[in-house]
Amino acid sequence: MQIKTVTDRFSKNRLAIAGLAIVTVLFIIALCAPFIAPYDYKTINVRAILMPPGKAHLLGTDDLGRDLLSRIIWGSRISLAVGFVAVGISTVIGIVLGSLAGYYGRWIDSTIMRFVDMMLCFPSFFLILTVIAFVGPSIWNIMIIIGLTSWMGVARLVRAEFLSLKEREFVLSAVTSGAKDLRIIFVHILPNALTPVFVSAVLGVAAAVLVEGALSFLGLGVQPPTPSWGNILTSGKDNIEIAWWLSVFPGLAILLTVLGYNLLGEGLRDALDPKFKS
């Protein structure tokens, strides 16, 4: 597939471009957080508790007088980190298990796919909650556990790609020229199977950001004083009757992030594989 046709198709899709713009801006904000945040995110100011949005504090302050805008800006780092590391973990697991199942077939395939069925049987959010509560909430634990519970889709995708690719001539020629199994899997077949995996990884970041938000909101995610959009919303809930801004803005940040990654992912899918375009 020519790269030019892909970029052409992508750039004609306005929604996809909007997604790319949102994602890029979020990246810049996360990278430059120390420079663009107007206040320090953890300085408590007893004289500015629960101030509504105004000149001094653009988005208001929280119940400890900390600047909400600065906390949201720093929170974007958490979301980004959780999203990427979790997706990295789930993608690697999904690729390895999916390739093994698809390439070897037989009992390896049926064992792995039964395992996938079992994992899909769990209410994954409940499982994540349980494990986090047991091992203790920390940003690393969240990343690892979200990753460990969300690889099933990737595994199924990779397996399906392998099933059709392994019958093709270039694989046969690799086999007859004496290449080892691992070489055939990772050098010959896998690169051809990566397109849908890439798309699902972009969409996976959005899903991971949502899960992190929910976990932190329930108090089982990133722990204060480290700001995360989810744990700011917890204080929004505690002050629901007096401080609307604490509930509205962090949620908007989550919404925009997830929207951005979803639009980008769908746009990439349409651009990379015109079959899906309906």
Partner 1 sequence: MIPVLLGVTIISFSIIHLAPGKPTDIMTELNPKITPEARQRLEKYYGLDKPILVQYGIWLKRIVRLDFGNSFSTDSRPVIDKIWDKNLPLLDRKLSITLLINILSISLILLFAIPIGVYSSTHPYSFFDRVSTVFVFLGFATPAFWLALLLMMLFGVKLGWLPISGLKSLNYSSLSAMMQVFDKAQHLILPVFVSAFGGIAGMSRYMRSSMLEALRNDYIITARAKGLSETAVVYKHALRNALLPIITILCLSIPGLIGGSVIFETIFGIPGMGQLSFQAIMTRDYPVIMGLLFITAVLTLIANLLADVCYAFADPRIRVNKG
Binding site for partner 1 (CB under 8 A): 15, 114-115, 117-127, 129-131, 133-135, 206, 210, 213-214, 217-218, 233, 236-237, 240-241, 244, 247-248, 250-251, 254-256, 258-259, 262-263, 278
CB of 88 to partner 1, least distance (A): 22
Nearer to partner 1, 172 or 255 (CB): 255
Nearer to partner 1, 143 or 263 (CB): 263
Nearer to partner 1, 84 or 125 (CB): 125
CB of 232 to partner 1, least distance (A): 11
CA 63 to chain centre: 29
CB of 123 to partner 1, least distance (A): 3
CB of 43 to partner 1, least distance (A): 26
CB of 120 to partner 1, least distance (A): 7
Instruction: Please say whether the beta carbons of 67 and 38 come within 8 A.
Output: yes
In whole angstroms, what is the distance from residue 171 CA to residue 190 CA? 11
Instruction: Please say whether the beta carbons of 256 and 22 come within 8 A.
Output: yes
CB of 125 to partner 1, least distance (A): 3
Amino acid at 216: S
Instruction: Please say whether the beta carbons of 25 and 257 come within 8 A.
Output: no
In whole angstroms, what is the distance from residue 217 CA to residue 209 CA? 12
Instruction: Please say whether the beta carbons of 15 and 68 come within 8 A.
Output: no
Nearer to partner 1, 96 or 119 (CB): 119
Nearer to partner 1, 122 or 198 (CB): 122
CB of 184 to partner 1, least distance (A): 30
Nearer to partner 1, 161 or 266 (CB): 266
59 conformational bin, left if phi > 0, alpha if psi -120 to 50, beta if neither: alpha
At residue 239's C-alpha, the angle toward residues 40 and 221, to 5°, is 60
CB of 238 to partner 1, least distance (A): 11
In whole angstroms, what is the distance from residue 49 CA to residue 65 CA? 4
What residues contact residue 263 under an 8 Å CB cut-off, 6+ apart?
15, 16, 18, 19, 22
Nearer to partner 1, 10 or 175 (CB): 10
Number of Cβ atoms within 10 Å of the Cβ of 246: 26
Nearer to partner 1, 185 or 210 (CB): 210
What residues contact residue 229 under an 8 Å CB cut-off, 6+ apart?
72, 75, 76, 78, 79, 213, 216, 250, 251, 253, 254
